[in-house]
Structure 1
Amino acid sequence: MTQSLNWRKSTYSSGAEGNTCVEIADQRTRIAIRDSKDPAHGSLTFPPRAFTTFIEVLKADSAR
């Protein structure tokens, strides 16, 4: 069964033209993330708790 996802651009998109961004989709039990420039290339999915940890690590790393 193929599920149609409601993708939205991350609030952390950057670049003057918004061209360095990711999109996320909530699948209830998982969070999907993909490159907005190449959406057909694939996506990563995380359980919600792991996604939260993933974002926290990215934020901490960018603060260095």
Structure 2
Amino acid sequence: MCRHPDVGGCVLAGRVFDHPEIVDGTRIHTSHVAMLDDEGGSWARTISRYYRLGRQEGETAH
């Protein structure tokens, strides 16, 4: 999650995978983050939709 200079507020930024309409690996940023999963960190809610979160870029899978 990062602060976006053009959008303002916090947004998600990263690569998309397993989306029905976006090519795997495409970089995106979202609208403002409205809610985050406090317990497992597995999802986020923006103004327009929910996102299932994966590992942070650069983080290795165990």
Could you say whether these structures have the same fold, taking a TM-score greater than 0.5 normalized by the shorter chain as the test?
A: no
Structure number having the greater helix percentage: 1
Q: TM-score, normalised by structure 1?
A: 0.32
Higher strand share: 2
Q: TM-score, normalised by structure 2?
A: 0.33
